[in-house]
Amino acid sequence: MLDKNGIAQRIAQELEDGYYVNLGIGIPTLVANYIPQGVDVEFQSENGILGMGPFPLEGDEDADLINAGKQTITAMLGAVYFDSATSFAMIRGQHVQLTVLGAMEVSQNGDIANWKIPGRMVKGMGGAMDLVASAENIIVAMMHTNKRGESKLLADCSLPLTGVGCVKKVVTNLATIEITDGAFHLLERAPGVTVDEIVAATAGKLVVPDEVPEMKL
Amino acid sequence: MALNKVVANVEEACAGIQSGMTLMLGGFGLCGIPENSIAQLVKMGVNNLTCISNNAGVDDFGLGLLLQGRQIKKMISSYVGENDEFERQMLSGELEVDLIPQGSLAERCRAGGAGIPAFFTPAGYGTEVGEGKEVREFNGKPHILETALTADYAIVKAWKGDTAGNLIFKATARNFNPMMAMAGKITIAEVEELVPVGELDPNQIHTPGIFVQRIFQGERYEKRIEQRTVRPRA
């Protein structure tokens, strides 16, 4: 079974040389720690930077330089700043090649719910709806089940949707799963996890091939 | 001859703002917010305001200061979670909240300033954001109609500005400021450094002065950091 860092490490294998990438808050942020050798990517943060670097060294933090999670960051050589309309032009215009974000629920036709729980304080969708509506390549990073042990991979989302039919791939603590033709397709098992465990933790329709390789990290 | 947009101070800059008006306020979180003008709005005691701003500040800073005095009737934002007083007023029904996808919020402000009354976007289709909105298919994909936003006053914060109202922003403090500057009937710009015309390189200006009606040099910027994340020095 993978921990959060393991999920990030697996998703980092999806990075290709020359990609512009938007990482959401939480597990997705950790993907930046596992960029494969020889792969050059640039990170976009929707508040207005391309070429986002790591957190600043203590004492170097700048209130004017933050990411979409409002954390202090640094800028890489060649970075560029822009306004919010330009930022979402990059996103909606499909100039960003890969979007990684967290989710509360994903459905077998690629719907995603990650912004609102009825009856609880609603904080807002931020940029998530714009991101999922337009990205060509969306990977969801999340735990396979919620805190009550219930599956987060469902036939239909029960929570209010962030976007419809947009998620192509999900990497969880248990598996790598592709979404096509209205079903989850099991691609890989996490280290030490059996197919039966994945089947048991998946509420939506799961297509299991004869051979399911273990992830290589 | 360059036009002169300079006002003496924040009092003059905010003169004319009245209760019940719609304001746009630049910034993302606490980054790039017009600190001086917000303090002045608190002092003026105007209320019943509709505030269009990506966020709503924290309890004791940014727009949180206006919430404390119950000066805001309605917030139009994309993300508002960082504020206990906000939550209390929202749950008790004192505060109306309209949540908008961040890219749609930016584009609605831009459209408002650019003379485009509405546009179609894929963001929010199939979600509650799209409910009741016109849907049209383009290139086989459904889009929803979003309308432009404008404001009685737009209040923005820039790093440098000149007496003609031309603005340059710093790093990610730019965010919503340029679009909001375009969408205000009257746009107030507060800047960290106000310089004579000719000192800013015309090639480097982000917001042309035509969008700015009043400019002043702000004072005592606190520039509070919301999430201080650092790497330890070895």
Full-model pTM: 0.96
- Contact flag A55-B231 (C-beta cutoff 8 Å): yes
Q: Does A58 touch chain B (CB under 8 A)?
A: yes
Confidence band, pLDDT 50/70/90 cuts, at residue A102: very high
pLDDT of amino acid A151: 98
Residues near B189 by Cβ (< 8 Å), separated by ≥ 6?
A: B5, B156, B157, B158, B161, B165, B167, B181, B207, B212, B214, B215, B216
Q: Residues A14, A16, A42, A46: which is the catalytic one?
A: A46
Q: How far is B185 from chain A (nearest CA, A)?
A: 19
Question: Which residues in chain A are closer than 8 Å to B232, comparing Cβ atoms?
Answer: 57-58
Is the C-alpha dihedral spanning B210, B213, B217, B221 positive or negative?
Answer: negative
Question: E-assigned strands of B63-166?
Answer: 72-77, 96-99, 118-121, 135-138, 141-147, 151-162
pLDDT of amino acid B125: 98
Q: How far apart are CA B174 and CA B27, in angstroms?
A: 7
Asked whether the predicted pLDDT for residue A17 surpasses 90, the reply is: yes
Q: Which of A43, A49, A80, A84 to mutate to test the interface with B (most CBs of B within 10 A)?
A: A84
Segments of chain B with pLDDT less than 70 = none
Strand partners, B137: B142
pLDDT of amino acid A69: 93
pLDDT of amino acid A120: 80
- Contact flag A122-B206 (C-beta cutoff 8 Å): no
Question: Which residues in chain B are closer than 8 Å to A73, comparing Cβ atoms?
Answer: 229
Q: How far apart are CA B48 and CA B32, in angstroms?
A: 24
pLDDT of amino acid A118: 87
Nearest 5°: phi and psi at A66? -135, 170
pLDDT of amino acid A26: 87
Q: Does A62 touch chain B (CB under 8 A)?
A: yes
Write out the DSSP string of A129-178: HHHHHH-SSEEEE--SB-TTS-BSEESS--SPPSBSS---EEE-SSEEEE
Q: Which of B81, B106, B228 sits opposite A124 (nearest CB)?
A: B81
Alpha helix stretches (DSSP H) within chain B: 10-14, 35-44, 64-68, 84-91, 102-114, 177-183
Share of chain A above pLDDT 90, in %: 94
**8 A C-beta contact, residue B63 and residue B25:** yes
Q: Which of B89, B125, B172 to mutate to test the interface with A (most CBs of A within 10 A)?
A: B172
**8 A C-beta contact, residue A62 and residue A86:** no
Task: Round the average pLDDT of chain A to a whole number and report it.
Answer: 96
- Contact flag B91-A121 (C-beta cutoff 8 Å): yes
pLDDT of amino acid B75: 97
Residues B44-75: tens digit of each pLDDT: 999 999 999 999 999 999 999 999 999 999 99
Task: Say which DSSP state B45 is in.
Answer: T
What is the chain A residue with the closest CA to B32? A64
Mean pLDDT, rounded, for A111-130: 91
Question: Which residues in chain A are closer than 8 Å to B103, comparing Cβ atoms?
Answer: 46, 84-85, 87-88, 91-92, 127, 129-130
pLDDT of amino acid A168: 95
pLDDT of amino acid B81: 72
Residues A178-199: tens digit of each pLDDT: 999 999 999 999 999 999 999 9
- Contact flag A161-B107 (C-beta cutoff 8 Å): no
Identify whether A105 is a catalytic site residue.
no
- Contact flag B123-A122 (C-beta cutoff 8 Å): no
Instruction: Return the residue matching tokens 């440098």.
Output: B160
Residues A62-95: tens digit of each pLDDT: 999 999 999 999 999 999 999 999 999 999 999 9
pLDDT of amino acid B15: 98
Reading the block at residue B45, the tokens are 């005691």
Asked whether the predicted pLDDT for residue A163 surpasses 90, the reply is: yes
Q: Which of B24, B127, B139, B169 to mutate to test the interface with A (most CBs of A within 10 A)?
A: B127
Reading the block at residue A89, the tokens are 């032009």
pLDDT of amino acid A108: 98
pLDDT of amino acid A54: 92
Question: Which residues in chain A are closer than 8 Å to B80, comparing Cβ atoms?
Answer: 123-124
